[in-house]
Amino acid sequence: MITPVIFHISMANNYVTDAPLWGDSMRLLVDGVPRAPEDGWGSTCYGLVNAGHSSDRCTIKFVVPNTAADLKLRLQNLDSGTEVSGTMTTDRTVQ
């Protein structure tokens, strides 16, 4: 069984040049294995965040097996090669 995981990502840009906010550069590591966003969802995060204290946001979706124990979202700046990642916790509580 699989579960959709949806992230609402906000990005602030305080630099003097525009910064990319691209779904193509986002991966969800599921138990160490990278997964691309669901088809069509990567394109919802496609644009530049203008230079100088501006911000933008987007929504992106991944599909995760219910057996997943370790989730980590990885965002990579394809221009500079820098990477930011964050570990998620999985809550299997039935609502």
Maximum C-alpha span of the chain: 46
Identify the pLDDT of residue 25. Answer: 77
- Residue 83's pLDDT band (cuts 50, 70, 90): confident
Q: Is the separation of the CB atoms in 25 and 80 below 8 Å?
A: no
Q: Taking the alpha carbons of 66, 39, 46, 29 in that order, is the dihedral positive or negative?
A: positive
For residues 52 and 24, the model is more confident at: 52
Mean pLDDT on 36-50: 80
With cut-offs at 50, 70 and 90, classify the pLDDT of residue 90.
Answer: low
73 is written with which tokens? 């979202």
Q: Name the CA dihedral angle for 48, 52, 53, 56, rounded to a multiple of 10 degrees.
A: -10
